């Protein structure tokens, strides 16, 4: 039984329901427009587009997973890309085993990169991945287990806020370094690609691509309802109390670390599913998926779409990625400006100060990436770079605080308060 | 003194002995001893920085003392437990700064505090029973917030937040209530109402109230402990402690 303002409830339901209806319609319409509308018609949706849309749905699922932990429990994970990537790698391992003897080297057991490395037998951790059921189980278990171990250590020792965010960045960074190593057994730099079959069907075929698109949509809708159930249960309110006043929740007798661990693991599993659905559609998985900047981008999607609303995260994931692909395709030099523009607008409407911090982090990362590549050989330069990064990161956090400070000052004027109130009220609905 | 809801064999519901806590060499709590009987209402007064809130932090498991005994119901050693454990054992707390969940409604705040299982699965599948529903309504009436049931806590006045927090404390059904400066930011009328409310609560619970407002303490009409520089300076009736020369000096010398 929920007891909250009727108006709020209606507003809330309508946004989410509208979005889910649109998604459901898309799941039905897109395949029809692809299969039954002649290619000459402007209504025809090419298979290529179906796959692109399918990938956006996976991103949206990842954003939804992040919103569950960040929007409702206040855990700003800057490492959700790692769970996405692990789910993707688990799927990739299955797909690699499906290739069988059709690889370049024709080895029936070993994937090409292992033959190339002169390996004679399959490493033990590859066992079982030829079995689809086992692999799908791993899609859930591997990210879930990592989240469990990481969360157990971090939440029990009460690491919160910025420190936790930095740890999650470190987590994904460390994993990226590990997966880059050839000897780690996951194809190093190149990752996995050239997939052939998935569950007995040709990955490249139109039917498979449509099936993957539909599956992505269905999982997204299912995950939305699951998250909705969690956030609207009493647990959802416990999560909000942890987000807003962690010590209050403790003094009420709630074991904060158990709640955090539960949503964190659930969220990591959803991210893993997103990654697993993404990989056969993208046709490749490699360590770039672990890049720290990717995880920060996910935060941006959620922040822009509206944190703590679930549907907002989905919209953010879809819209930002669509916009990004449009601009990086049409006028790549414009993308950063556009993103900046979106930021300025959303900062005005945002209810949390984190956005400014995210912008600066992204700038920091954007500078960091090419520089790191250019001088990765030189250790001293690397130290220098680390300092630059640290300065940028801390200034990001500083601005984050500053924004909060400024907000409370400006909030004295009525119009700003009103502006701020609207999204905040939505957030409070759970 | 009437003992209502504790078994007769318990001597002290809370017992502190020789408790010391330093922050960077500064002794916020210094060899503090305190004994609260089951069912007792006790007021704790003392100048700012006397260590009153720190004492509550120690009892509720937020801060671990450097040394000394902290016992609940004679034989439970509270220093070995954390906040959630202690809360579930039956010690509830109202903070000095009102701490309610701002983005939840009055009703949801009370629902959150409602006594019951705090385990993850239970809360995920929790359904409110009719009796619990009525209990929330009852508390809402008690704290005078029935009309505000769907108002977000952040839109309440300071005094209303204080009351909501007291309501959350009551609905938690603790055996001991620690109430830190409940009258802060309240009008005179609200202050007296709060004293009345706490007096009513103390009929069924042990209550420790920290407060500066002397009229408020007088209205509580109970034993008073004066804290100064982390230890007990005087203890007794309000009239007795307020005629104590040392107490007068401490208060006038501020
Ligand atoms: N976590 C802490 N770290 C450092 N000093 C503290 C901490 N908590 C309390 N203190 C210090 O201990 C003293 C007692 O504080 P407090 O218990 O809040 O006093 P009261 O509630 O009686 O006004 C103060 O001087 C305060 O600055
Ligand atoms: Mg205090």
Q: How far apart are the first and last CA of chain B?
A: 34
Minimum CA–CA partner of B101 in chain A: A241
Q: Give contacts of B93 with chain A, Cβ < 8 Å.
A: 251
Q: Is the CB of B50 under 6 A from ligand 1?
A: yes
For the residues of B79-133, what is the DSSP string, one character each? GGS-HHHHHHHTEEEE-SS----TTSBHHHHHHHHSSS---HHHHHT----HHHH
Please check whether residue B220 lies inside any domain of the structure. yes
- Put simply, whether A157 touches B (Cβ < 8 Å) is no
Q: Which of B95, B111, B172 lies nearest to residue A237, judging by beta carbons? A: B111
Q: Which of B120, B149, B152 lies nearest to residue A262, judging by beta carbons? A: B120
Cα(B11)–Cα(B74) distance, integer angstroms: 7
Please check whether residue B52 lies inside any domain of the structure. yes
Is the four-CA dihedral A94, A100, A104, A106 of positive or negative sign? positive
Query: Residue B97: which pLDDT band, with cuts at 50, 70 and 90?
Result: confident
Per-residue pLDDT at A176: 95
Cα(B96) to centroid(ligand 2), Å:
6
Please check whether residue B145 lies inside any domain of the structure. no
The rounded average pLDDT for each run of 10 residues, N- to C-terminus, in chain A (430 residues) is 48 71 94 91 89 96 97 93 98 95 90 92 94 97 98 94 89 95 93 94 94 98 97 96 93 96 98 98 96 87 82 86 71 59 53 44 51 53 59 55 50 40 38
Cα(B97) to centroid(ligand 2), Å:
9
Burial class (CB in 10 A: 0-12, 13-18, 19+), A44: middle
Q: Give contacts of A238 with chain B, Cβ < 8 Å.
A: 112, 123
Among all bound ligands, the one having the nearest atom to the CA of B46 is 1
Lookup: tokens for A424: 């905040």
- Put simply, whether A233 touches B (Cβ < 8 Å) is yes
Q: Give contacts of B88 with chain A, Cβ < 8 Å.
A: 253
Please check whether residue B6 lies inside any domain of the structure. no
**b/e for B32-61, b at 16 or more Cβ within 10 A?**
bebbbbbbbbbbbbbeeebbbbbbbbbbbb
The alpha carbon torsion through A143, A144, A146, A152 (nearest 10 deg) reads: 150
Cα(A97)–Cα(A93) distance, integer angstroms: 6
Burial class (CB in 10 A: 0-12, 13-18, 19+), A330: exposed
Per-residue pLDDT at A408: 47
Q: Give contacts of A245 with chain B, Cβ < 8 Å.
A: 99-102
Cα(B230) to centroid(ligand 2), Å:
12
> Are residues B108 and A237, on separate chains, in Cβ contact within 8 Å?
yes
Minimum CA–CA partner of B93 in chain A: A251
Lookup: tokens for A42: 């402007």
Please check whether residue B107 lies inside any domain of the structure. no
- What rounded mean pLDDT belongs to chain B? 90
Please check whether residue B3 lies inside any domain of the structure. no
> Are residues A428 and B83, on separate chains, in Cβ contact within 8 Å?
no
A47-73 vs A292-305: helix crossing angle, rounded to 10:
80
- A370 sits in which H/E element: helix A354-374
The domain in which residue B23 lies consists of: 14-100+156-252
CATH number at B66 reads 3.40.50.300
Q: Which of A244, A251, A256 lies nearest to residue B102, judging by beta carbons? A: A244
- Nearest-5° Cα angle at B57, B117 to B118: 10
Cα(A255)–Cα(B32) distance, integer angstroms: 29
Number of domains in chain B: 1
Q: Is the CB of B53 under 6 A from ligand 1?
A: yes
Q: Minimum mean pLDDT among A191-200, A336-345, B75-84, B156-165: which range? A: A336-345
The ipTM value here is: 0.89
Cα(B40)–Cα(B4) distance, integer angstroms: 10
> Are residues A248 and B107, on separate chains, in Cβ contact within 8 Å?
no
Interface-testing mutation among B83, B114, B119, with chain A (most A C-beta atoms within 10 A): B83
Please check whether residue B128 lies inside any domain of the structure. no
Give which of B90, B65, B83 is closest to B13, Cα–Cα. B90
- B171 sits in which H/E element: helix B158-171
């Amino acid at each position: 039984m929920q007891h909250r303002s009727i108006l709020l409830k209606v507003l809330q339901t309508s946004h989410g329901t509208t979005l889910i209806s649109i998604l459901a319609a898309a799941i039905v319409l897109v395949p029809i427009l692809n299969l039954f509308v002649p290619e000459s018609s402007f209504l025809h949706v090419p298979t290529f587009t179906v796959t692109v849309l399918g990938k956006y749905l996976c991103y949206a699922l990842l954003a939804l997973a992040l919103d569950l932990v960040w929007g409702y429990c206040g855990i700003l994970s800057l490492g959700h890309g790692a769970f996405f990537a692990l789910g993707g790698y688990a799927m990739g391992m299955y797909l690699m085993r499906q290739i069988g003897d059709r690889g370049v080297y024709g080895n029936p057991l070993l994937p090409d990169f292992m033959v190339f490395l002169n390996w004679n037998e399959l490493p033990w951790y590859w066992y079982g991945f030829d079995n689809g059921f086992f692999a799908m189980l791993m899609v859930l278990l591997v990210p879930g287990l990592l989240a469990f171990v990481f969360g157990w250590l971090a939440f029990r020792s009460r690491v919160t806020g910025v420190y936790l965010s930095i740890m999650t960045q470190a987590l994904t960074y460390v994993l990226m370094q590990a997966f880059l190593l050839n000897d780690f057994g996951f194809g190093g730099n190149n990752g996995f690609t050239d997939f052939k079959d998935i569950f007995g069907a040709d990955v490249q075929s139109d039917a498979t691509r449509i099936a993957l698109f539909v599956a992505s949509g269905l999982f997204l809708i299912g995950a939305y309802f699951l998250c909705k159930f969690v956030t609207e249960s009493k647990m959802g309110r416990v999560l909000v109390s942890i987000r807003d006043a962690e010590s209050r929740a403790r003094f009420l007798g709630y074991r904060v670390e158990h709640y955090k661990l539960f949503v964190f693991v659930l969220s990591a599993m959803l991210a893993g599913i997103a990654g697993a659905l993404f990989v056969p559609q993208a046709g490749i998985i490699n360590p770039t998926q672990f890049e720290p900047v990717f995880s920060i981008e996910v935060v941006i999607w959620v922040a822009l779409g509206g944190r703590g609303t679930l549907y907002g995260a989905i919209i953010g994931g879809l819209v930002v990625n669509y916009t990004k692909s449009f601009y990086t395709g049409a006028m790549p030099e414009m993308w950063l400006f556009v993103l900046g523009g979106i930021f300025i607008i959303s900062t005005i409407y945002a209810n949390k100060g984190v956005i400014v911090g995210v912008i600066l982090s992204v700038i920091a990362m954007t500078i960091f990436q090419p520089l790191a590549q250019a001088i990765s050989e030189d250790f001293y330069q690397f130290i220098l770079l680390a300092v630059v990064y640290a300065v940028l990161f801390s200034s990001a956090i500083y601005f984050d605080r500053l924004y909060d400070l400024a907000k409370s000052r400006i909030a004295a004027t009525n119009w700003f308060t009103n502006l701020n109130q609207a999204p905040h009220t939505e957030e409070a609905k759970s | 003194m009437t003992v209502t809801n504790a078994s007769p064999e318990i001597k002290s519901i809370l017992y502190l002995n020789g408790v010391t806590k330093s922050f960077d060499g500064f002794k916020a709590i210094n060899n503090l001893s305190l004994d609260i009987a089951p069912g007792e209402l006790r007021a704790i007064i003392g100048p700012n920085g006397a260590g009153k809130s720190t004492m509550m932090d120690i009892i509720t498991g937020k801060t671990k003392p450097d040394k000394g005994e902290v016992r609940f119901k004679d034989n439970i050693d509270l220093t070995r437990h954390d906040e959630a454990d202690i809360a579930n054992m039956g010690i509830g707390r109202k903070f000095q700064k009102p701490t309610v969940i701002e983005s939840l409604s009055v009703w949801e705040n009370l629902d959150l505090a409602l006594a019951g299982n705090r385990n993850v699965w239970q809360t995920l599948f929790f359904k409110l029973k009719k009796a619990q529903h009525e209990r929330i309504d009852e508390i809402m009436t008690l704290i005078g917030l029935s009309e505000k049931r769907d108002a977000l806590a952040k839109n309440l006045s300071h005094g209303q937040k204080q009351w909501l927090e007291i309501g959350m404390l009551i609905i938690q059904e603790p055996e001991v209530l620690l109430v830190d400066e409940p009258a802060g930011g309240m009008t005179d009328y609200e202050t007296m109402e709060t004293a009345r409310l706490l007096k009513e609560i103390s009929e069924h619970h042990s209550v420790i109230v920290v407060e500066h407002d002397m009229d408020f303490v007088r209205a509580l009409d109970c034993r008073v402990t004066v804290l100064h520089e982390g230890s007990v300076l005087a203890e007794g009736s309000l009239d007795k402690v307020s005629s104590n020369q040392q107490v007068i000096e401490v208060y006038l010398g501020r």
